Structure 1
């Protein structure tokens, strides 16, 4: 894969995730939400922010600003969820 294509693809994903984050943020500010609905929005917001951070790391890697070993070791979008970082994924990427 060409570096510029990788950056473009992940920039599109990042834009979509940022738009979703903004929408969820606005939705979380509405009055009259039930506690259950508010918690669902916050959980979705946390996961969206985790995915945004991953996409940012992918783009930084493609731009040569981040080495795979410098990527986050884990993501913790909530109190009980812990996800492995994407360093291993980045190590396997080879650009043309």
Structure 2
């Protein structure tokens, strides 16, 4: 059986980009389970906020880090192949 996100968490992550990112089965599996629930509940309780707020913050940070990594790789490839790209553009 394929793991599913908690409906409350899915509703909390109402951004369409986040919803698409969370469609990744590996990420959905990582977000499933009591260990993650505990990891979200403890700081939320200490900060007097809902666990969904911490989850949204964590997902946004993860997506931001992934975007930065992909951007860095793309920039490296563009630099390595700058001459070819220039010739193709002629």
TM-score (norm 2): 0.37
- Give the structure with the larger helix fraction: 2
- Give the structure with the larger strand fraction: 1
Tell me which structure has the larger Cα radius of gyration: 2
Between the two structures, name the one with larger relative contact order (CA 8 Å, sep ≥ 6). Answer: 1
